Structure 1
Amino acid sequence: MVSAPFTVRTVLGDIAPEELGTCDAHDHVFISSPQLPGQELDSADAAARELAAFGAAGGRSVIQWTPYGMGRHAGLLPDLARATGVRIVAATGLHQAAHYTQDTLDELRGEGLADVFLRELTEGIGESGVRAGLIKVAGGFHGLDAHARWTMRSAAEAHHATGAPITVHLELGTGALDVLDLLCGELDVPPHRVILGHLNRSPDLLTHHQAAASGAYLAFDGPSRAHHATDWRMPDAIKALADAGFGDRLLLGGDTTTAGARSVNGGPGMPHLLRRVRPRLELAVGEDLVERTLTVNAGRAFGVRWA
């Protein structure tokens, strides 16, 4: 019996992992949350201009981590991908409880969260017909609350039914080992199917080493804010992982979450990853590793032999 090939599930259909090209492994084309009032990414025109700017900088694909109930506008993504030539991967999943009303959470409990994830991975998101290519969940600050454990158990169930990768928002970059203990230890998700986000926000090199040694992918995503130890420490963190033999566990992303952060509005936006982050990292670890991180690693992290 011939095994199914590994493919990445984009909004325009499944593709071979190498077709991703230069990939922003964590970003948002659309997103909204009561935690970010007035900063919604909900304009299709602004999204098109941002994707086009990323493409002009050499970008070829964007992995959108926006989960259920946070303004994904899944039905708009195929036309944006066609118009800009940038491949887009959509997400199912659930963020921290603070991003939802209690009524929404109660409805999801009644419907069965794993069933929602599974439906969006295999049938499509709402009426859009766009199938998700990953499951996004979130931890807490240095730990996992009951909501995080519920979402991660549901994500693990959907993963086992489909093979889909699980991406994890780590609050300020913390709690990586707790996440791995639950997902990979208790729930039997293979570590290479787990992508840990925001490791740059907590420059704990020992934790980085332990997480990479587990086999999980480590995403360094998003430019610095005043309270984040990101840009100026990230080259050292990535070099330490590369020197320890974990260059194949690295991913890079932009994580644009507010309208003001978009390049078309004067912020760094998606192009910043390739305009500024890439050359800075090339000085630390060389052009070859950065190129492989943006292309080969991303293809492997999001490529799935779909069940």
Structure 2
Amino acid sequence: MFDLSQPHVMTVAGPISPAALGVCQHHEHVICNPLAVAVDDHDWVLDDPHASLAELEEYFAAGGRAMLDASTADYGRDAASMAWIAARSSVHLILVTGHHKALHCATHVDGKTVDQVAEVSIRELRAGIGETGVKPGAVKAGSSLNEIQPCEEIALRAAARTHLATGAPITTHTEAGTMGLEQLGLLRAEGVELNRVIIGHLDRNLEESYLRAVLATGAFASFDQVSKDYYGPDEPKAAMIKTLVDAGYEDQLLVSQDLARRSLLRAYGGGPGWVYLLERFTLRLMDAGIAASVVRKLLVDNPARALTIRPV
């Protein structure tokens, strides 16, 4: 029996030691049906457990050992399907509680208090998601482009209170990499130690002074749009990671792909799939002058620390 009073990572299959996590892509989507966008575009629907399992096995063969599915309930999270996959996959899978940006969370959050929203996430972390019993391993919140809408502020403050009650780490969505500092300001105001926070999608905003300001707070900076050329090529992302490593932030950087479309996953008929980061982007990082030992930090050591639940 795992001692839940000790630091741990909560996977779909149960708690593990952070040291057992291994190579981890910390912001992906394995199974989800985000109705707010999928109603007009089926490409957003990842609803085939067999295909997602096949994609995970390719990822495992490439060296991947763990993955966080950043799909919130308002983004079409499916804990039952994830439990089915976890029972058959060699990959440690992690789910989230909490909320996405306003496009997805408004109807779930509007009219509720911060504590009412937090209560749901705290219950899921302690007792599991509905009848599945599956416990999330992190709490998520998000913001919109260049603004934090009222429902997003509620969700961010609720994420903070959930963290303070449970010790679960916080991971965020930023729209095009904006509002990261503002997110951190709200979380700090609620009493969160910012080294327990992952600010997402920052490789969509490669302004060095901004990224340094985020990292100076102690938060993790997530470069999780790797392989998405429509958001910009990977070369500048690798170069910025090298710049930030040289500035002393190698222990706060994370990399992932955030593949949330059928057209981006090989088992759904698209590509490049989750193998891209391990087979190609790691080489690009080393070509940029980043030592293999630091690449290991980005993929193993940093995710293990970032995703650790530290019980209160």
TM-score interval, normalised by the smaller of the two chains:
over 0.9
| Match in the other structure for 1:85 | 90
Q: Pick one of 279, 300, 306 that aligns with 2:305.
A: 300
Give the corresponding residue for 2:10: 9
C-alpha displacement of 1:227:
4.5
- Aligned partner of residue 73 in structure 2, secondary structure: coil
Q: Matched residue of 2:245: which SS?
A: helix
Q: Contact (CA 8 Å) 1:8, 1:15: kept in 2 or not?
A: yes
Counterpart mapping for 1:141-180 below 5 A: 141-180=145-184
- Distance change (3 Å), C-alpha of 1:169 and 1:100: closer
Task: Give TM-score scaled by structure 1 length.
Answer: 0.93
CA contact (8 A) 1:199 1:218 kept: yes
1:118 match: 122
Structure 2 Cα separation of the partners of residues 173 and 239 of structure 1? 19
- The equivalent residue for 1:56 is 61
Out of 123, 130, 134, the residue aligned to residue 138 of structure 2 is 134
Segments of structure 2 that go 5 or more residues without pairing to the other structure are: none
Q: Secondary structure at the match of 2:165?
A: helix
Change (3 A) 1:101 1:176: closer
- The whole-number CA distance in structure 2 between the counterparts of 1:306 and 1:286 is 34
Q: CA deviation at 1:56?
A: 1.0
2:280 corresponds, among 253, 260, 276, to 276
Indicate yes or no: 2:199 matched with 1:196.
Answer: yes
Whether 1:22 and 2:23 are equivalent positions in the alignment is: yes
- Equivalent residue for 1:94? 99
1:35 corresponds to 2:37: yes
2:219 aligns with 216
Alpha-carbon distance in structure 2 between the residues aligned to 1:256 and 1:3: 31
Shift of 1:5: 2.4
Letter of the 2:69 partner, please give it.
Q
The alpha carbon displacement at 1:174 in A equals: 1.1
* Residues 1:106 and 1:163: Cα distance change in structure 2 (over 3 Å): same
CA distance in 1, matches of 2:230, 2:242: 22
Deviations 1:127-169, CA, capped at 9 Å, x for gaps: 1100011011101212211111010111111111001111011
Q: Hey, what's the Cα distance between the residues in 1 that align with 2:104 and 2:162?
A: 22
Residue 88 of structure 2 aligns to a residue whose secondary structure is: helix
**Distance (Å, rounded) in 1 between the aligned partners of 2:186 and 2:276:** 34
| Structure 1 unmatched runs, 5+ | none
- 1:60 Cα deviation from its structure 2 partner: 0.3
Match of 1:70 among 75, 83, 99: 75
Deviations 1:160-202 (A, max 9, x none): 1001111011100111111111112x11111111101111111
- What amino acid maps onto 1:271 in structure 2? V
Query: 2:298 is matched by which residue type in structure 1?
Result: T
Match of 2:237 in 1: 234
Q: C-alpha separation between the residues in 2 aligned to 1:101 and 1:166?
A: 19
Contact 1:200–1:230 (Cα < 8 Å) also in 2:
no
Separation in structure 1 between the aligned mates of residue 282 and residue 92 of structure 2, nearest angstrom: 20
| Conservation of the 8 A alpha-carbon contact between 1:50 and 1:262 | yes
